[in-house]
Structure 1
Amino acid sequence: MHIRFNQIGYLPGDTKKAVVFSKEQVRENFLLVDVASGKTLLEIKPQRLQKNNWGGFMYWELDFSSVTHSGDFLIKGKKSGIATKPFKIAPKAYTGYQEQLLEFMRQQRCGYNPTLDMVCHPKDGRSFFGPMRDSTYVDLSGGWHDAGDQLKYLITSSYATAHMLKAFELYPEQFDDQVNALGQPGGNGIPDVLDEAKWGLDWLHKMHPEPDQLFHQIADDRDHRGFKIPNKDNADYGWGENSYRTAYFATGKPQGLNKYQSEATGVANLAGRSAAAMAIAARIWEEQLQDPAFSAQCRRAAISLYELGRKKEGYQQGNSYGAPYRYNEETWADDMEWAAAELYKLTKEPKYLAQAKAYALQSNTADSWTVRDSASHYQLYPFINMGHFALHAEVDADFQKVLEGYYLDGIRHTLQRAEKNPFHIGVPFIWCSNNLLTSLVTQVILYEKMSGDRQFEPFLAAQRDWLFGKNPWGTSMFTGMPTGGEYPVSVHTAPYVLLGMEVPGGLVDGPVYTSIYNKLIGLTLWDPDEFATVQNEHVTYHDDVGDYSTNEPTMDGTAGSILMMAHFGRGR
């Protein structure tokens, strides 16, 4: 018998549920016990879940929502004595966790990396497909490594930067100042989330060196030569190991330096997201940080990036070299909506509002993964349309209902999917399912802010709880969180494999359909599967270095979870 619950805990007002599953009938009640006193607060009768019984297990639900006072608790079987580890019910159960996510972001820094205290890839990069001669040197150092590899993408970095800035705008009081701009210990008077966002902004400025120029990717899958410390990169792009790397210019046309070609049609996805980040930054650095010079720089970049997107509507995809895997983004109107909405907030120029509304109508629910059972890798990226939320406050009531309706349609579709499984999870288990899940959580949060409609609170809690242990494997999906809990350790990253470093806060890719896992190239587990007894034929997850499909932490997935963590960190 297995009991699955949220290891971090619950806010007093939450819907609070755990799941019990077993191959045999469960014929006992369960006790919610106060750890400090040893007293039983509640005896819970398990309710059988008539759902898809993954792995041949039978499932029951334990509801203890009626308990609202604070403390440390555990759940145990009344007869068997099988018990969970302690968890919290408290208004501040989630306070501070967003700072651990920022700790992982600092691990991903390229250029000066404060976690490793080293400088890497100072020679990024040599341009291809640009207006300059191929192999011309351009200074594109900085930014973040994308995941366990050491590539750098504007596709993901633009979203990560914009998301962090929006999270700060919504929850400024939630963020601490513990490090300086380089990520070293010791505050500098600036919230760390803004230090991290500026690391991204500085790189975005480099990637947009002229009003009509935009780079979109540094390096490619020639990077994949085993685990390596970043300042000893053994990849060779034609200039020797640990030297210059290819820098791809965004042309809006199919690209590739080998047999694999992207399917690009424009640059508006990248230009739009980057413009949104710059517009938000221009407001924050002007109003919050009293830095008019940097604010003006971001304002100029926001306007020129947006205009570049207008001239080259369509999407730029990632490039691959020796393998077929790439970022297959095929949407762009959502990014231009977001950019136009943020530019309108910044400038109050009516044209931006009109254009944002037009892009919003183009970027409707049909462009969302929420209404599909499958999609190519990053095909419908970003996994939430932040433009709908950014625009909502600037339009009349009728148009507000349209925007709310787009979010609502997506939530309802995921709710239908959730009704079919015992954990009430609304995402398809394609690659990076955890990114989808944190985006769904964010969408419900933003929908509540837009509409005041809180009917999906139980659904919201179920999605969050999956991420922290209420799942078949009983594991958090974030490295090092919570302390003392079950969380990913054997992650697909060089700092862990080569240095034994366990950096907290990284969101791993998450479970995939078993059918996907069985078809992946070059995937071999390094160790016996610790979750073998609870694996099922439907979805698969391994805490194993060799499983790059489920246990590789991603930079954008982690950044895309910061708003969620700041939201729950407020307590209620």
Structure 2
Amino acid sequence: MTMQKQLCLFIMIILGTDLCAQDSLYIRVNQLGYLPEDVKTALAFSKRKTRERILLIEKVSGREVKEISPKPIPSAWGVFDHFYALDFTDITEEGAYYLKAKKSNHRSAEFQIGAKAYGHYQETLLAFMRQQRCGYNPTLDMVCHAKDGRSFYGPVPDSTYFDLSGGWHDAGDQLKYLITGSYATAHMLMAYELYPDRFGDTHNALGQPGSNGIPDILDEAKWGLDWILKLHPREDILFHQIADDRDHRGFKIPNKDNSDYGWGENEYRAAYIATGEPQGLGKYQSEATGLANLAGRSAAAMAIAARIWKEKLDDQAFSEKCRKAAISLYALGREKEGYQQGNSYGAPYRYNEETWADDMQWGAAELYRLTGEKTYLEQSTTYALQSANADSWTVRDTASHYQLYPYINMGHFALHQVADKDLKKTLEGYYRDGIEYTLKRANTNPYHIGIPFIWCSNNLLTSLITQVILYEKMTGDTQYEPFLTAQRDWLFGRNPWGTSMFTGIPAEGEYPKDVHTSVYVMLGLDVPGGLVDGPIYRSIHDKLLGLTLNDPDEFAHVQNDHVVYHDDVGDYSTNEPTMDGTAGAILMMAHFGMPASPPPAK
């Protein structure tokens, strides 16, 4: 927290009023910075009109590089009525900068302009993924949940033991979901295929320091692949969840789990087999109509892996294992079309996914690319036309939490790689319609942000960014670059709170510190690279159970009654880093980032 923010917070607590906000001019920038060719805009806002000019200052020399005349933006946000755009797109000279009001001396955070502004942060996100590992956790150097798990539902007797160790803890809690794990795995594999030069080799397969001849992103994806293979031990069984909200008994170290599923604390955990029917061992029942959402995107992950391990790593045995799993998983999805949701026990919250055609489209497209069998191409096309944008939040004003998951239809891009000319145009149109709809929303607010602020809004935002990136790759159309840049910049500080939404990024900037995770609360570990849930509508936030702030709100001077964000351990709705959110941002980071450094000479 800056000295200015500390003083404002002190005044607010003592006097009960926010005097600092009355005359302050707040300047928000992307703290990571801007590539030389970027559209470069910052935002200033205040409660009163201002004509004060803004100076762009080169940090090292103190040189005034540009004097900017703020351009009024005819829209408001929360308690602030006056917003101004600060454009310095014409500045391409590399260096460190900040913006400063000419008379009042209000300053922005520092930022970079240059080709290296985004560095190797894609690798930082992988560091957070390693911290989420279950089984052997390299960050903590411990083994946890080795007894996962004992089955419920499905074609075997309840409490049958299966080895389901591995995978990733979902967020600040220690549940494991195929819903999120399958997407995280497939997303990382697609990111590698699109940007293979962006990922280095500084860790081994266990996530420990030291190269092993395999890019770290593939080591991390394989951690997910190995777990998915365990979840599908035979053709008629697919596990979809390990543990449930009985896990939520306060913060805890993973290898000292105090949750009890009937076998005592830190023992076996419940493992749910997907049946395509409602489930729930406690008060609440999930909804379900099938299991194709899980089977389809798990098949996509396995098919992509089969290609990579064969063509890039020359590992024929693992490639064949993934190929067989992809075919089997996809067949299971065909047999039981529909969706399987997450399960809850004593609380009403669950992952309530209600889409599946998009996942089967993705799985079929990747299987066609792997096998060349035309049946897969035909089926992927059918699913694509069925899914279209019906499964997408991008053409809706709102949606429930995880209702339309994943937050981007990766199947449209995968199918586009093998589609004929007419189908390519149709798929491009689906992406473009979503971009245009969100662009209309963006034009109604000063931040030019196109998402609805439902729970996990940052996941929506990184997915929208990814959709624009993939649309550009499909079409060569770059007309949405300014929109893309505005979405990206929000994530790194061009937002009301002036904070990055990734832990530890940038290291000297404003970023989430008091995050809702056990390793922070109990061990004091600040693990960089985790994407927090993000801002949420106040109307949703205030209705959530068990949510309370542990400390005075450091953002009270800019908070509003519309959309809220807290950097506070107690706010699990806005400040909890998520595994799938972080994995889903890796493609975006790789797109803007630099190639990996070459490995050291041996």
Compute the displacement of 1:85 (Å).
3.0
Q: What is the TM-score with the length of structure 1 in the denominator?
A: 0.99
Correspondence for 1:3: 27
1:64 maps to 2:88: yes
**Partner in structure 2 of residue 38 of structure 1:** 62
Quick one: which amino acid aligns to residue 38 of structure 2? D
Secondary structure of the residue that 2:240 maps to in structure 1? strand
Is the counterpart of residue 280 in structure 1 residue 296 in structure 2?
no
**Pairing 1:132-211 to 2, within 5 Å after superposition:** 132-211=156-235
Instruction: State TM-score, norm by structure 2.
Output: 0.94
Counterparts of 1:228 and 1:393 in 2: how far apart (Å)? 45
Counterparts of 2:201 and 2:50, CA distance in 1: 49
| Partner in structure 2 of residue 565 of structure 1 | 589
Structure 2 residue 564 is the aligned partner of structure 1 residue 540: yes
Aligned residue number for residue 114 of structure 1? 138
1:244-290 deviation digits (Å, cap 9, x = unpaired): 00000000001111121111000100000000000000000001111
The corresponding residue for 1:293 is: 317
User: Contact 2:76–2:82 (CA<8 Å) still a contact in 1?
Assistant: no
2:67 is paired with a residue of what secondary structure? strand
Q: 2:307 corresponds to which letter in structure 1?
A: R
Structure 2 Cα separation of the partners of residues 216 and 349 of structure 1: 28
Q: What is the DSSP-based 3-state SS (H/G/I as helix, E as strand, rest coil) of the residue aligned with 1:66?
A: coil
Following superposition, the deviation at residue 427 of structure 1 comes to 0.4
Kept in 1, the 8 Å contact 2:28–2:109? The answer is no
Does 2:503 correspond to 1:479? yes
1 CA distance for matches of 2:94 and 2:56?
Answer: 13
Deviations 1:464-485 (A, max 9, x none): 0000000000000000000100
Does 1:400 pair with 2:420?
no
**Which stretch has the larger CA shift, 68-77 or 284-293?**
68-77
- 1:70-469 alignment runs, 5 A limit: 70-469=94-493
1:520: which partner in 2?
544
| Matched-pair contact (CA < 8 Å) for 1:152–1:217 | yes
Residue 27 of structure 1 and its aligned partner are, at CA, apart by 1.9
Matched to 2:321, the amino acid is: Q
Q: 1:501-545 deviations in whole A, cap 9, x for unaligned?
A: 000000000000011111111111000000000001110000000
Secondary structure, aligned partner of 1:258: coil
Q: SS where residue 56 of structure 1 aligns?
A: coil
Q: Distance in 2 between matches of 1:55 and 1:318?
A: 38
**Equivalent residue letter for 1:379:** Q
CA deviations over 1:169-214 (Å, ceiling 9, x no partner) = 0000000111110000111111100000000000000000012210
Paired residue total: 571
Q: Secondary structure at the match of 1:297?
A: helix
Q: Which runs of 5+ in 1 are unaligned?
A: none
Aligned structure 1 segments of 4 or more residues deviating by more than 6 angstroms: none
Separation of aligned partners in 2, 1:97 and 1:57: 35
Distance 2:487 2:80 in 1: 23
Q: Distance in 1 between matches of 2:146 and 2:369?
A: 36
> Which ranges of structure 2 fall in alignment gaps of 5 or more residues?
1-24, 596-602
Counterpart of 1:423, as a letter, is Y
Identity, in percent, stands at 73
Give the conservation status (yes or no) of the 8 Å contact 1:338–1:390.
yes
Rounded Cα–Cα distance in structure 2 between residues aligned with 1:138 and 1:450: 42
Distance in 2 (CA, whole Å) between partners of 1:219 and 1:484 is 37
Report the CA distance between 1:58 and its aligned residue.
1.4
Provide the rounded CA distance (Å) in 2 between the counterparts of 1:46 and 1:284.
50
Pairwise CA distance, 1:570 = 4.2
Instruction: Write the distance in 1 (CA, Å) between the matches of 2:530 and 2:143.
Output: 21
1: CA distance, partners of 2:170 / 2:158:
24
One-letter amino acid of the structure 2 residue matched with residue 377 of structure 1: H
Instruction: Output the CA distance in 2 between the equivalents of 1:393 and 1:563.
Output: 18
Shift of 1:37: 2.6
Contact between 2:26 and 2:108, CA under 8 Å: does it hold in 1?
no
User: In the aligned structure 1, how far is the partner of 2:29 from the partner of 2:131?
Assistant: 29
**Which residue of the other structure, out of 549, 553, 571, is the alignment partner of 2:577?**
553
1:323-374, Cα deviation, whole Å (9 max, x unpaired): 1000000000000010011001100111111111111001111221111122
Looking at structure 2, the residues matched to 178 and 485 of structure 1 have their Cα atoms a distance apart, in angstroms, of 26
**What CA distance in whole angstroms lies between the structure 1 residues aligned with 2:547 and 2:58?**
44
What SS does structure 2 have at the residue aligned with 1:272? helix
The answer to whether the 8 Å contact 1:267/1:312 transfers is yes
Specify the code of the residue in structure 2 equivalent to 1:160: A
Quote the Cα distance in structure 2 between the aligned partners of 1:466 and 1:569. 17
Counterpart-to-counterpart distance in 1, 2:590 and 2:43? 26
Is the 1:55–1:538 contact (alpha carbons within 8 Å) kept by the matching residues of 2?
Answer: no
CA positional deviation for 1:78: 1.2
Equivalent-residue separation in structure 2 for 1:95 and 1:404 (angstroms): 30
Change (3 A) 1:373 1:302: same
